[in-house]
Structure 1
C-alpha cells in the first residue's frame, strides 16, 4: 500500500474526488484568518495604545511588523512549499501562526506584542502561498475554476470585513478581554484547521532532492525589507534620511539577487525563483497588474477609514458597517464573474477594474460635496459599484497570472503573486499618503480631511485605469483561440480555460 505521505504530484489530485470541496474549505479558512489579521488589528490600535501605555510609533509597529514580515517572507515561503510540499508548509505555518496569535493575545507589554506580530507575519508568509498551490494540484478543469473563484472571494472578504469583524469583537468585549480578542479568536480556528488538514488535504511532494537556496532567500528578504520598511514607515515619519538610503540600497541588492538566480538557473540548480517564470507573458503581465491593482485597494481602505474615524469622528464598528455596502457588491459580482468571463474572456478584469475606478471616483465626489457634516450614507452607491468591480477582478486576475505556470512551481509563483499584492498595497499607501498627509496641516481641522481625501482619490483612480490597459497585454485563453479557429459557439470561462492549458502541460510531464 502506498504511504499517504508520499503522494506524488501526479496522484495528488486523485486523493480527493473532484467534486469534494473539503480540502479547499480547509485551506481557505486558514488563509482567511492570516489575511484577515492584517486588517482586523487596525481597529484595535487605540485600545492597544491605551492598555499597554504605548507611544504612537510603537503602536504603528504592531501593524508594520506584521505587514513587513509577511511581505518579505512570501517568496521564500512559496519556494519552501515547492520543495517540501504545500500541505506540510501550510501546517507548519499555521501552527506557528496560531502560537503567535496566542502570544499576541496575552502580550504583557507593547514590545512583546510587536515581536509576536513579526512572528505572526513570518508564519503567514509560510502558509498563504500554499493555498493556491493546493488548488493547483488538487483541482482540475471546471472544479479548479470554481476554486479560484472561492479564493478570490476569500481574499476580498478578508479585506472588506476586517474592520467590521474587529469592531464587533472589541464592542462585545468578551470576558473583558477588549482588544485581545482580535488575536485570541485565531486560536480555536487554527487548532481545528490543523486537526483537519492532515485528514482532508492530500500530501503533495513536488521538489524531492532539491535544496532551498539559502543565499537567495537571504538576499530576497533583505532586498524586500529595504523597500517595504521605508514604504510602510517613511510616510509616517516624514520621509527621514534612513528611508531614502534604504530605497537606494534596494537597487543593487535586487540586481545581486537576480544575478544569483540566473546563475543558479544556468547551472540547472534550484533557484529561489525560476527566471523562466517571467518568460511566461501571462505571469509577468498578471503580476504587474496585481501589483498596480492593490496600490489602489490598500490606499483607499486606509484613507477612507481615516476620513470616517478622524474626519467625521465615527467609531470603528459603524465605519466597518458602511464597508458592508462594498462587501455586498463584491459578494454578488463574485458569483457572476464566471458568466461575464465566458462572454468576454480576460476583459472581465478590465471591466471590473474600470468599475472600481468609477466607484472610487463617485465616493470622492460625494465626500467633496458632503464634507464632514453631510450624510455619509450618500457614499454607499460608490462603495457598491467599487465592490462590484472588485468581485470581477478577484478571481480572474490571479487565475490569468498563474495560467501557464508549471504546477511544480505553483507555490513559488503564488508567493511572487502575494508579494506583488502586499508590495503594491504598501507602495500605494506611501504614494497616495504623500498627497493625503501633505494636504493636512500639523494640527488638521475637521474640514481638512474631506479635501485631503478627494484629492487623494484623483491619484487612486489612476491605478485601476492602468490595470485595464495592462489586461490588454494578457494572452488569450487557449480555449478562446481554439474556439475562434473552429468557429464553435461553445463558451468557456476565462478563469477555467487557462487552467486547462496547465493541465495539458501537467499531463505531458507524466
Structure 2
C-alpha cells in the first residue's frame, strides 16, 4: 500500500492499522510532535529555575550557564548521528531508544544532589534527545506526501517555538508549586510520566520505517564536529567567570583548527563516495546553505532572549518563578496563534511574509527596550505584554518559514540527514546564544541589570534586521512547499 493510497483512505483506517500498513495517521503525527516537544522544552524549562537551583546547590553563575549550554552542546553534537542511526536501524526504534534514555536522564537530573551531577545528567539528557528528535522530521519526510507533509513540517516548526516558551512557563509553575518540598526538581521529573505516555502511544500508532539506502556512520566526522562545538562553547560559557585563563583561549584556537579539520575530512569522505556526517553537496543546496545560516542566527537571538528575560524579571524586578513564567505567556500565546495561521499567509505572500514577520519582531524588540529604559526599575511585567505579543507574532512567521525553506530541496532518502543537520544548527545556535550573549549579560549585570538586558535585546534586534535583509536570498516558495489551504491531519 503506497503512502498516497493510505493518505487518501485514512478516514477509513484506524491509527493502528495505518501504522501496520506503513502509513502515518494524523494521531501519529501529534504523538511524534509530543515526543519532540519534551526535549525542546527542556532546553528552556531550566531558565526560570536557575536562581532557585543556584541557592539549592550553591552553584556559581558559570555553572548555571553550563546547566543550560551543556545540554545544547550534547544535543547539537549528536543530532546528525541520531538522524543517521535512525535511517539505518529504523526511525521508530531510535525514537523509542532516545525517549527511554531521555526519561532515565530526566530522573537523574531530578534527583541530582550536587551541581556537578546535575550538569553530568544534563549532558546525557541532551545526547538522548539527539537520538529522539531527528526521527520526527525524518518520519514525516518519509511517510507523508504533498499537503500532509507540508502541514506536518509546519506543525513541527510551531512545536519547536511553542515548546520553548511553554517550557519556560511550565518551569515557573512547577518551581513555584514546590511540590512536596521538592523545589526545582519537578521541572525534570515531569518528563517521566509524560515520556511514558508518549512511549506507549507511539508503539501503537507510529509505523516502523527506515531509509532504503542508509548512509554509513561517519565516526571521524562525528568526533571532530563534537570536539569543535565543545572547544567553542565551553570557553565562551566559562571564560568570563574564570577571568579568561590561558586554557580558554587555547580551546578557542583549537575550535578553529578543529572546524577546518572537520571540513577537510567531510570533503574527503564525500569525494570517496561515502556519506559524511555533514555532506558538503547537501549543504550547497540553496535552501540548505542560506536557510541554515539564517536559522542559526535566529536561534542565537532566541536562545539568548529566553535566558536573559528570565534572569532579568527575577533578579532585576523581583518576580518569583511563577511570575517569571507567566510574564512570557503573551509571547507564547501569540506564537501559537501565529504558527497556526502562518502556512496560509506564507502560501499567499511567500518570502515577503518572512520579511514582514522579521520587521514585526524587530518592532517588538525596540518597544521592549524603550519600556525597560524609560520605566526601570519600576517597570511592571504587564507593560511587557504588548511588545511580547508583537515579538511572538513576528517570530512565528519567520521561524515557520525558515524551517520549511531549509528542507525544501532535501531528497527523501536523505530525510534523516537533512533533518539532523537542520536541528543541529538550530540547537547549536541556541547554545551559542546562551554562551555569547548570555555571557555578555552576566558581564554587564553587576553594574546595571537594565543596561545588560537592553544591550542583549539590541543585539537580537541587529540579528533580526540581518535576517529581514536576507529573506530575498531564500528560494521562492511554491505550492508544493507551502500550501495556503488548511489540511486535515
Following the alignment from structure 2 to structure 1, what is the Cα–Cα distance between the partners of residues 412 and 457?
39
The one of 353, 361, 369 equivalent to 1:364 is 369
Q: Which residue of 1 aligns with 2:193?
A: 188
CA deviation map 1:21-71 (0-9, x unaligned): 122111111111111111112233333344445555444433333222112
Q: Any conservation in 2 of the 1:345–1:494 contact (CA below 8 Å)? A: no
1:93 to 98, 122, 146: 98
C-alpha distance in structure 2 between counterparts of 1:356 and 1:234, whole Å: 31
Question: Which whole-Å CA distance do the structure 2 matches of 1:321 and 1:79 have between them?
Answer: 39
Contact 1:148 1:495 in 2 (8 A): no
Among 198, 219, 222, the residue aligned to 2:227? 222
1:45 — aligned with what? 50
Gaps of 5+ in 2: 8-17, 485-489
Q: Give the counterpart of 1:153 among 140, 158, 161.
A: 158
Paired residue for 1:35, among 24, 36, 40? Answer: 40
Task: After TM superposition, list the pairs within 5 Å mapping 1:83-482 onto structure 2.
Answer: 83-206=88-211, 210-433=215-438, 435-441=440-446, 444=447, 448-477=448-477, 479=478
Aligned-residue offset at 1:268: 1.4
Q: Deviations over 1:320-377 (max 9, x none)?
A: 1111111122122112212211221122222112211111111001111101113332
CA pair 58-338 structure 1, distance change in 2 beyond 3 A: closer
> Which SS does the other structure have where 2:333 is aligned?
helix
For 1:3-82, what aligned pairs fall within 5 Å after superposition? 15=19, 20-82=25-87
TM-score (norm: length of structure 1): 0.86
Mapped contact 1:43–1:316 kept (Cα < 8 A): yes
| 3-state secondary structure, aligned to 1:476 | coil
Deviates more, 1:12-21 or 1:410-419: 12-21
Would you say the 8 A contact 2:3–2:143 is kept in 1?
Answer: no
Over 3 Å counting, the alpha-carbon distance change for 1:58 and 1:431 in structure 2 is closer
Is the contact between residue 24 and residue 147 of structure 1 (CA under 8 Å) also seen in structure 2?
A: yes
Distance 1:328 1:424 in 2: 24
Q: Is the 8 A contact 1:167 1:316 kept in 2?
A: yes
Count the aligned residue pairs: 473
**Which moves more between the two structures, 394-403 or 103-112?**
103-112
Deviates more, 1:357-366 or 1:247-256: 247-256
Whole-Å separation in 1 of the counterparts to 2:70 and 2:338: 33
Aligned Cα root-mean-square deviation (Å): 2.5
CA distance in 1, matches of 2:102, 2:384: 37
Structure 1 unaligned segments of length 5 or more: list them: 1-6, 480-491, 498-510
The 3 A distance-change label for structure 1 pair 132 and 206 is same
> Matched residues in 2 for 1:363 and 1:59: separation?
25
Is the CA contact 2:142–2:412 (under 8 Å) kept in the aligned structure 1?
Answer: yes
* Partner Cα separation in structure 2 for residue 289 and residue 341 of structure 1: 17
